[in-house]
Amino acid sequence: METIFEIQRRLHEECDRLVMAMSEELMIPKKTTKEKVLADHRIKIYLERYQTCSKSLLELYQDKDGERKQEITNMSVNEFKEFYSQFNGLIEFHSNHGNNVAVPASIEFDKLKDQLNDPAYLAEVVKFSDVENYGQYLDLHECYDNFVNLKGIDKIDYITYLSEFNKFVDIPRKQKNLKYKGYLQLLHDYLHSFITRSRPLFFELEHTVKRNELQFEDMWKNGIVPGWEKVREVDDDALLNLNEFGKWEDLTYLGLDRLKAALQALGMKCGGTLEERAQRLFASKDDKNQENERKRMMNLNKEKDIAQLEYQIVKMSELVDDQIYETKINLQRKQARYTLDESDEDSMDEVESDDDDGIPYNPKNLPLGYDGKPIPYWLYKLHQLHFTYECEICGNYKYNGPKAFQNHFSEWRHAHGMRCLGIPNTAHFANITKIEDALVLWDKVKEQTFSKMWVPANEEEFEDSRGNILSKKVFLDLQKQGLL
């Protein structure tokens, strides 16, 4: 059992080794963006472990339970008694755990460095898509698909979306519904995840988010949130003091528009004739506006959540301005490389004469590119997207092109299918698409694994007094017969 001082010594040594590992990592020059990002993630892992050790050391030095002070007293009063007490504790510990091998701190840290330098391990810790290129570009395709599918939103191309995805003032308030809130949440989560993955040493992110929340609360209280200033003023001015009206007929003199605005401010149904609106509004006076006030507060809270998400996205987009600019430049450079195939010039002429509905002309059912138009036919043939591969393990899902087919073996759909079959998704089952083939191969792998296992009854050996090597069964039979 370790003493308090031994635990402190071990923690101090671990902190020193962590500082040395971080220093060595910073001294190595990095040439590419990938090397810089992976090095920052390694340093982050070292820092998190250093903080854990420092916190443990602080708790030991504070000595809230008084064990450290008691240990110092025992060592100063009767040092020999304390020495033999610890010595007997060591003997008892090793007698109970004699087979345990102590691993020195140097070997442990060498294994940690080897693990962090392993590309396979870092690929699990740091996950970037091919488009992101280790934090160099943004991959907002999923957010873009959700945006163009919003009802009442003007359809724009992907490059324009990159320039305007954080401009929420131009979007009408009537379009900001629950689906729009889901889109904002998806965009917010992606930006937060991207900043965390591409800038792992940016520890001010959480403080920045909290500071933005406080700033938003002040701006919302004062009614100066961009895009929501007039909304709050209209809602406050639209309310009516129903105590000034003795009967519902008095409300009819206000007119249809005024009654509609008052009903909307209370979160009530605003349709119907003039008399129906007046009766509905006057009826809210009898129940003291409790239900209507509750609906109004729910509506305000929903608007506040949407406004807060918009404000957070605007602030976080300022942190990735460079990546947004680089993404647009990269997309424009890729589009400039595309050349028209001579065999498809007639088709491209028809694409230019599309209808006003914005649906691209796509007679060959080609995949769409970043600009929302079909990719060139030569590129379609180059990537062999006209070949279809079917996987029975994935539920007869079809993959277009050999690249997508090879990549799907490490994706969630194939892994889920293998897990349902009770088979681990290892390298043994690469390129296996049939359920029957996978089960047969799994039985064969289990048999081979069992045959390689050590069986004591067959492989355990004994030596007699003359030095002869005998199996366990033969040795026991000869021993029973007294021939040894």
Q: Answer whether residue 477 shows pLDDT above 80.
A: yes
Q: How far apart are CA 366 and CA 377, in angstroms?
A: 8
CB 200, CB 41: distance < 8 Å: yes
Q: How far apart are CA 361 and CA 349, in angstroms?
A: 10
Q: How far apart are CA 262 and CA 281, in angstroms?
A: 8
Q: How far apart are CA 33 and CA 272, in angstroms?
A: 62
pLDDT-based confidence at 188, cuts 50/70/90? very high
pLDDT-based confidence at 234, cuts 50/70/90? very low
Q: How far apart are CA 283 and CA 288, in angstroms?
A: 9
Task: For the chain, give the mean pLDDT.
Answer: 81
Element (H, E) at 156: none
Q: How far apart are CA 120 and CA 94, in angstroms?
A: 38
Q: How far apart are CA 139 and CA 414, in angstroms?
A: 24
Residue with tokens 């810089």: 36
pLDDT-based confidence at 84, cuts 50/70/90? confident
Dihedral of CA 196/135/323/132: which sign? negative
In a 13 Å sphere around the CA of 445, the CA atoms on its Cβ side amount to: 13
Within 10 angstroms of residue 92's Cβ, the number of other Cβ atoms is 11
Residue 183 phi, psi (nearest 5): -65, -45
DSSP 103: P
Which structure tokens are listed for 268?
């009530």
Q: Answer whether residue 342 shows pLDDT above 50.
A: no
The residues, ordered by sequence, that sit 6+ positions from 295 with a Cβ below 8 Å of its Cβ are 266, 267, 268
Span 93-98, mean pLDDT? 73
In a 13 Å sphere around the CA of 194, the CA atoms on its Cβ side amount to: 24
pLDDT at 355 (0 to 100): 45
pLDDT at 295 (0 to 100): 62
Span 30-57, mean pLDDT? 90
pLDDT at 75 (0 to 100): 72
> Among 36-45, 73-82, 232-241, 282-291, where is mean pLDDT lowest?
232-241
Q: How far apart are CA 88 and CA 103, in angstroms?
A: 22
> Tens digit of pLDDT for each residue in 61-83?
898 888 888 777 777 777 777 77
pLDDT-based confidence at 54, cuts 50/70/90? very high
Ranked by mean pLDDT, which of 118-132, 271-285, 343-357, 422-436 comes out on top? 422-436
Span 180-198, mean pLDDT? 91
Which structure tokens are listed for 392?
């029975």
pLDDT-based confidence at 85, cuts 50/70/90? confident
Q: Answer whether residue 34 shows pLDDT above 90.
A: no
> Among 187-201, 246-260, 428-442, where is mean pLDDT lowest?
246-260
Helices (H), 149-228: 158-164, 178-198, 205-222
Element (H, E) at 398: strand 397-400
> Among 185-194, 372-381, 390-399, where is mean pLDDT lowest?
372-381
CA 331 from chain center: how many Å? 25
DSSP string, 247-287: SGGGGGGG-HHHHHHHHHHTT----S-HHHHHHHHHHHHHT
Q: What is the pTM of this model?
A: 0.56
> Among 152-156, 160-164, 208-212, where is mean pLDDT lowest?
152-156
Whole-Å CA distances, 224 to 57, 70, 172, 219, 229? 47, 60, 17, 5, 5
Percentage of residues of the chain with pLDDT beyond 70: 85
pLDDT at 351 (0 to 100): 47
> Among 73-77, 317-321, 376-380, where is mean pLDDT lowest?
73-77
DSSP string, 105-116: HHHHHHHHHHHH
Query: Between residues 151 and 299, which one has the greater pLDDT?
Result: 151
Q: Answer whether residue 237 shows pLDDT above 90.
A: no
